[in-house]
Structure 1
Amino acid sequence: MPELPEMENYRKLLTQQLVGRTITAAAIHRVKSINTSVEQFQEEAVGSRLTQINRRAKYLLFSLASGKVLLLHLMLGGWMYCGTDRDKPDRTTQVELSFGEKTLYFIGLRLGYLHLLPPQEAMAALAGLGPEPLAENFTEAMFIDRFKGKGGRLKTALIDQKQIAGIGNCYSDEICFAAGIRPTQTCRELAEGDWSELFRSTRRVLTEATARGGYMESPLYAGDTLTGGFNEMCKVYDRSGEPCYRCGGTIVRTDISGRKTFYCERCQR
């Protein structure tokens, strides 16, 4: 599932590719991916200029000159491609937004959605999210206050979008590895120094992953060499049975609340 770095990468690249352009056509191949009738979606979206793209947690908000917002959540398996019929991947698309010669293809949008909303409704849909972990005003003290002393496993706490926004399966494991702490630990077992290290690791891992285009390897457009650049940098995620880059121990996999979880059994205490 795309997480904060993947969605921020999409935001930056799509801003370069599409902002300022007008939606010239909209094709809906899966009606459940939108929140209106096909006719209403096309009537309100087509002919409107894309003015900006913002990100909140794992969501993208496409602001239109009409005043409406397209709220996107890709969910599990969702991704995008910006290009033409000649170079797009041979995959089923659920929604297509055309911007003249370029089309933005929404792929794997079977659990995710693209909703056309007034701005206030889009904001209301995001109201329950926790703070952005990379925000300048999000301090170490605030981070510790959100987690210290709470029940449950560390992994579960880090991916709780009400506590902190944008972290999912991959980066929760990478953050715990960077901090040298097992994601299987309970929050109450951790000392304040552990939380301080987790805060620093969160900022460090998410910043590097964003700069390298996230871990999802499917390019956003022809010639895109940035997207997916962090995949080869992952230290534990999806590396079960392989040696730890830090200590040579073995990366193990377990499940926490039904989510696959990876860590080094030797150097993560």
Structure 2
Amino acid sequence: MPELPEMETYKRLLHERVRGKKIDQVIINREKSINVPVPSFLAEVQSATVVEVERKAKHLLFHLNSGKTLLLHLMLGGWMYFGPDEDSPDRTKQIILSFQNGNLYFIGLRLGYLHLVDEQYLKEELADLGPEPLDPAFTKEGFFEHIRNRRGMLKTTLVNQSFLSGIGNCYSDEICFQAQLHPATKADELTDVQKLSLYEAIRQILQSGIAQGGYMDHPFFMGDQLTGGYKTLVYDREDQPCFRCKNPIQLEELSSKKSFFCPVCQH
């Protein structure tokens, strides 16, 4: 599932291509991927202009000049591609938004969605999200206070969107490895030194993920050399050697969530 770095990468690439552009045509191939009847969706979205693309946690928000917003969540298996007709991926597209400079294809929206919402709905839908971990206002002191009463395992704490926005299965494992903490460690058992390591690891890993285009391997456009450049440290590397100690990475289920870690480096 795309997480904060993947969605931030999409946001930045979309900003270059669709900001200020009019949506010339809308094609809906799967009605379940939207939240209003197709005629209503077409009437409000077709000919609208995208004035801004914003990211909130794992969501993308396409703000339209009408005051409405297209709220995207790719969920598991969803991805996007931008390009002309001749570059169209040989995959089923649930939704297509056409601009003068290319088409935006939404692919794999089996669980994901593109909903047309107003400002009030958007406010309510995103109200329970925790702080953005890369927000400059999210300081070390704020993190210490934020985690002070947490009692769950680090794995479940980090993926909880009401705790921090945008971290999922992949980057929670990467963060724990960077901080040299076992993902089953209880949050309320961390020392101040470990909390600081965790805070710094969150910022370092997410910034690195963004700089390298995230870990998803679907290019966003023809010739895309950025998307998917992030090479994971432990995630999805079961039995491969740890980059620190060369011992094999292990996979374990923690509260029904797959967790990859080094049993030697992560205590």
**Alignment partner for residue 259 of structure 1, among 242, 257, 260?**
257
SS at 1:86's partner residue?
A: helix
CA shift, 1:121, in A, is: 1.5
SS at 2:103's partner residue?
A: strand
CA shift, 1:85, in A, is: 2.7
The equivalent of 1:248 in structure 2 is 246
SS at 1:14's partner residue?
A: helix
CA shift, 1:193, in A, is: 1.4
CA shift, 1:147, in A, is: 1.9
1:60-104 Cα distance to aligned partner (Å, 9 max, x none): 000111111001011111110011231122111111111135111
In structure 2, what is the Cα distance between the partners aligned to 1:243 and 1:108?
A: 32
In structure 2, what is the Cα distance between the partners aligned to 1:199 and 1:10?
A: 25
Q: Show the 5 A alignment for 1:30-179.
A: 30-179=30-179
In structure 1, what is the Cα distance between the partners aligned to 2:66 and 2:100?
A: 18
The equivalent of 1:189 in structure 2 is 189
In structure 2, what is the Cα distance between the partners aligned to 1:101 and 1:171?
A: 34
CA shift, 1:119, in A, is: 2.0
CA shift, 1:257, in A, is: 2.1
Q: Is contact 1:148–1:192 with CA below 8 Å preserved after alignment? A: no
State whether structure 2 residue 200 is matched by structure 1 residue 203: no
Comparing 24-33 and 130-139, the one that deviates more? 24-33
Q: Is contact 1:148–1:195 with CA below 8 Å preserved after alignment? A: no
In structure 2, what is the Cα distance between the partners aligned to 1:77 and 1:157?
A: 23
Comparing 84-93 and 34-43, the one that deviates more? 84-93
TM-score norm. by structure 1 comes to: 0.97
In structure 2, what is the Cα distance between the partners aligned to 1:190 and 1:264?
A: 19
Tell me the matched-pair count. 267
Percent of aligned positions with the same letter in both sequences? 49
The equivalent of 1:236 in structure 2 is 234
CA shift, 1:149, in A, is: 4.2
In structure 1, what is the Cα distance between the partners aligned to 2:7 and 2:119?
A: 20
Q: Is contact 1:54–1:61 with CA below 8 Å preserved after alignment? A: yes
CA shift, 1:188, in A, is: 2.4
Gaps of 5+ in 2: none
Q: Is contact 1:25–1:46 with CA below 8 Å preserved after alignment? A: yes
Gaps of 5+ in 1: none
Aligned letter for 1:208?
S
In structure 2, what is the Cα distance between the partners aligned to 1:103 and 1:97?
A: 6
Q: Is contact 1:143–1:199 with CA below 8 Å preserved after alignment? A: yes
TM-score norm. by structure 2 comes to: 0.97
The equivalent of 2:5 in structure 1 is 5
SS at 2:220's partner residue?
A: coil
In structure 1, what is the Cα distance between the partners aligned to 2:264 and 2:76?
A: 31
State whether structure 2 residue 211 is matched by structure 1 residue 216: no
Aligned letter for 2:224?
D
Aligned letter for 2:22?
T
Aligned letter for 1:266?
V
1:20-43 Cα distance to aligned partner (Å, 9 max, x none): 111011111111111100000000
